Amino acid sequence: MIDDRMTGNRLIRTALPAEVRAVAELHARARATYYPDGPPQDGTDWLAAWRTALERPDAHVLCAVERGRIVAVASFRTPDGASPDTVKLFQFHVDPGHWRRGIGAALHAACVEEWQADGRRTAVLDVHVDNRRAQAFYTRLGWVPDPQNPPAEGDHHLLLRYTVPGE
């Protein structure tokens, strides 16, 4: 597990179950930016989903904290049925008021560091097709479209793959 670490004025650490509301609210703010008509009301209880992620023994939720406030969050684990050397980045969000400050890159670097320590070789994620900003971010960091899972007609997500650098 990652130790708390300072990067400038920013602390990157494991998120705590008591912080579930702050994490879910950040997620809602970030998610609202890439749905032109607002996030779909699909019945998902995001507070419960984040509570599960924070309490799951096989999951990792890292957060970036500035001035005592969570400004970014990342959730990852081995997806069900996947090889143990694969990790899935299920959620990765930076509070929109903190974009373009290096927070996402620092949080991503912390994720990669943990993946390396855990012996992961490949990371996967899916990104909403309308979220061009996130797609550009991931591309800059070395993520590529997953050749094993090309998008089908009508898919709302693009699957990306990342080769975790060796230590």
Domain boundaries, position 114: 5-163
Reported as a single tens digit per residue, the pLDDT across 10-35 is 899 999 999 999 999 999 998 888 77
CA distance linking residue 30 with residue 88, whole number of Å = 19
Question: How many structural domains are present in the chain?
Answer: 1
A 10 A CB-CB count for 32 gives 11
Q: Per-residue pLDDT tens for 128-157?
A: 887 889 999 999 999 999 888 877 788 888
What's the CATH number where 89 sits?
3.40.630.30
pTM for this predicted structure: 0.89
